Structure 1
Amino acid sequence: MEGKLRADEVVFRHVIAKLVAKELRPGDRIYETALSKELGVSRTPIRQAISRLIAQGVLENREGQKGYAIPILTPEDMQQVYVSREVVEAQCAYYAASNATPEDIALLWDYNMQERRLYDSDEKERFANLNEKFHLSIVRLSENIYLQRFALQLYWRAQLYTFYLGGFYRTYRNLAEKKAFPQDPDHHTNSEHARIIRAIENKDSEEAKLSMADHIQRTYRHFCRLM
């Protein structure tokens, strides 16, 4: 991440990095005291970050239990998350096509180029960060604060499924083994993102909406097979 992060953002990113690396798995618990020792920060930013993670569905605070749990992933929850995400992000893309400036488009293409370079690497955290920037940039370009609010929550909840089911985030013994999964939608992420950017660049709102919906549907269908 560029620049110096606020303490609560450091905590947030630390938890996300542990999810990406599978150091935290569904059902695992985290504790304020342990995070404070790991990161050398006070309890205040830890509580701020945890409140944010709970609000976005990444953590759960279960009554009568200490600490905070990574949610258990289920087919029913995944279906609700991805159906909702498709509706909200597709509408964000629709509005982004009208609102995006040439500078916005250039930034989206830059993310797309970086994704293409990173796909054959093992830099999972950087790849996750680029995917976040791409999707949340389009959400921001909707200029609709309610869509933004819902999209943020749905994006991070969906990432739990991406981190645990997505092919890019699997651990492979070598590059050849990774390339043995050509049907994984992660393999098509870059071209699907490019289709979305092209529609936004052309100010084609309907195509932007359709291409975003197709992108999210494809991921969901693949995860259904794995679940």
Structure 2
Amino acid sequence: MEAFLPAEEQAFQYVIGLIVAHELQPGDRMYEPELVQKMGMSRTPIRTALSRLVADGVLEKVHGQRGYQVPKLSLEDMEKVFTARQALEGMIAREAAIHRTELEVEELWKVNEREMNIVLSRKEATQLNELFHRKLVRMARNEYLERSFEALYLRSSLYIFYFGRFFLDGQSRELSSHREGNNYTYEEHRAIIQAVSDQNGELARQLMEQHVYNTWRIRVINSPFFDG
């Protein structure tokens, strides 16, 4: 855990890490006192982080029950989440192309170059993908798009973490899925960056919508490990 992060962010990232590592599964419950003990942290930042995770759809607070629950996932919910994300991020890409600066485009290229690395770990791939999408949403210069993005991105990430080709147990599967899935992600990101750099908003929108669709249909639903 990066010590320089605020306590709330440390707690937030700790729970996300448990999900990425599959140490928490859909339907599993977690309790505030357990986190306080494991992290050696006071209740306030942990409670704030858990509330944020609930607001973002990563955890659920079930009425009348103690603790927090990882949501039980379904094909119907996944379709709703990715359909909404497809429309929202298409709009974000279009706006980013209109408002981008040369420096911001250069930062996107640097992220994309790092994505080329075929030996990226799951954690590194997750961080770079999130960085790419977050940079784009900031480039759109619209705080309302940014607020909407937060919840949709994290909720859709649950499906990627549990069912995506790159987030499987075992080193051989992980490396194989990286070649099959993450290289495509790198190439799709590269095309989006070029459209943004060219200030071609309509093309950037189309490419982003296709990218989100590919993540949903090809890398998650069509994964041989997805059982719905």
* Same fold, TM-score > 0.5, yes or no: yes
Mapping for residues 75-114 of structure 1, pairs under 5 Å = 75-114=75-114
Matched-pair identity in %: 39
Kept in 1: contact 2:27–2:70 (CA 8 A): yes
When residues 180 and 47 of structure 1 are mapped into structure 2, their CA distance, relative to the original with a 3 A threshold, is closer
For these two proteins, the number of residue pairs brought into alignment is 223
Distance 1:2 1:94 in 2: 34
Alpha-carbon displacement from aligned partner over 1:17-71 (angstroms, at most 9, x marks no partner): 1111111111111111111111111100001101110111000000011110000
Kept in 1: contact 2:95–2:201 (CA 8 A): yes
Kept in 1: contact 2:116–2:183 (CA 8 A): no
Mapping for residues 1-227 of structure 1, pairs under 5 Å = 4-117=4-117, 119-121=118-120, 123-174=121-172, 178-179=175-176, 184-222=180-218, 223-225=220-222, 226=226, 227=228
Alpha-carbon displacement from aligned partner over 1:129-181 (angstroms, at most 9, x marks no partner): 11111111111111111111111110000000010111111123437x84378
Distance 1:171 1:55 in 2: 28
- How many Å apart are 1:185 and its aligned residue? 3.9
TM-score using structure 2 length: 0.92
TM-score using structure 1 length: 0.92
Distance 2:28 2:152 in 1: 21
When residues 53 and 211 of structure 1 are mapped into structure 2, their CA distance, relative to the original with a 3 A threshold, is same
Kept in 2: contact 1:58–1:160 (CA 8 A): yes
Q: Which moved more, 1:217-226 or 1:81-90?
A: 217-226
Kept in 2: contact 1:185–1:218 (CA 8 A): no
Segments of structure 1 that go 5 or more residues without pairing to the other structure are none
- How many Å apart are 1:3 and its aligned residue? 7.7
Distance 1:130 1:218 in 2: 18
Distance 1:37 1:3 in 2: 17
Kept in 1: contact 2:31–2:68 (CA 8 A): yes
Structure 1: 4+ residue segments shifted above 6 A: none
Distance 1:105 1:3 in 2: 30
Kept in 1: contact 2:73–2:159 (CA 8 A): yes
Q: Which moved more, 1:152-161 or 1:29-38?
A: 29-38
Alpha-carbon displacement from aligned partner over 1:166-206 (angstroms, at most 9, x marks no partner): 1111123437x843786x54341000000111111111100
Distance 1:2 1:50 in 2: 19
When residues 180 and 106 of structure 1 are mapped into structure 2, their CA distance, relative to the original with a 3 A threshold, is closer
Kept in 2: contact 1:29–1:67 (CA 8 A): yes
Kept in 2: contact 1:27–1:70 (CA 8 A): yes
Alignment RMSD (CA, Å): 1.8
Kept in 2: contact 1:97–1:205 (CA 8 A): yes
Kept in 2: contact 1:26–1:70 (CA 8 A): yes
